[in-house]
Amino acid sequence: MALIRIEGDRLVVVIEGLSKLWAFKGGMSIPLANVRGATADPGIAAEPKGIRAPGAHVPGVIIAGTFHQDGEKVFWDVKDATKAVVIELADEQYARLVLQVSDPRATVALVENALV
Q: Residue 7 and residue 30: Cα distance in Å, rounded?
A: 10
Q: Residue 53 and residue 43: Cα distance in Å, rounded?
A: 22
pLDDT at 23 over 70: no
Q: Is the dihedral of CA 84, 88, 89, 93 positive or negative?
A: positive
pLDDT in tens, 55-77: 777 777 788 889 998 899 999 99
Q: How confident is the model at residue 52 (pLDDT cuts 50, 70, 90)?
A: confident
pLDDT in tens, 96-108: 999 999 999 999 9
Domain count, the chain: 1
Q: Which of 96, 101, 109 minimizes the C-alpha distance to 79?
A: 101
Give the domain range for residue 41: 2-115
pTM above 0.85, yes or no: yes
Q: What is the DSSP string of 13-42?
A: EEE-TTHHHHHT--EEEEEGGGEEEEEE-T
